[in-house]
Amino acid sequence: MTQLSHPIPPLYDENSKILILGSFPSVKSREQQFFYGHKQNRFWKVLAALLECPVPVDIAEKKKMLLGHQIAVWDVIASCNIEGSSDASIKDVKPNDLSKILDSCDIRAIYANGNKSYELYQKHIYPQIHREIIKLPSTSPANAAFSLERLVGEWQLILESL
């Protein structure tokens, strides 16, 4: 098990209205230095379907899509012990400080991409900031119980906050 620090800065600007939090970047995301880098992760397909735009193919397009639709993205964990990309292996969590995002833009709602980010937020961040988080099903390929269509249906909730 390896102690790792989060290598990717948060993505947001002064116009961001919602914040989507994952748990910690996968091996592929750490390699690419950007969120949801594993080609099997359905995050980009889900958001593109909801926002009615093409699926972004590179980091520049991903940033443009998110910021153009007032979406901020980051993760709950600043550092932890983790084996590979396994959320189940996460231990010794140090949470990210969300204040830099929350103090600089009008975040209307915070969403968790999956159970682990929701649980870690409730344990490590909610007691400090007292902002509710809404749990959405994970876009990870490990969440095989959810088809792309079912994910899109569940994630439509974010549109209410944009």
Q: What are 99-142's pLDDT values in tens digits?
A: 999 999 999 999 999 999 999 999 999 999 999 999 999 999 88
| Total count of domains within the chain | 1
Q: What is the pLDDT of residue 3?
A: 87
Q: What is the pLDDT of residue 87?
A: 85
Predicted model pTM: 0.96
Q: Round to whole Å and give the CA distance between 19 and 36.
A: 15
| CATH code, domain with 25 | 3.40.470.10
Range of the domain at 48: 2-161
Low-confidence ranges of the chain (pLDDT < 70): 1
Q: What is the pLDDT of residue 44?
A: 98
Active site residues: 41
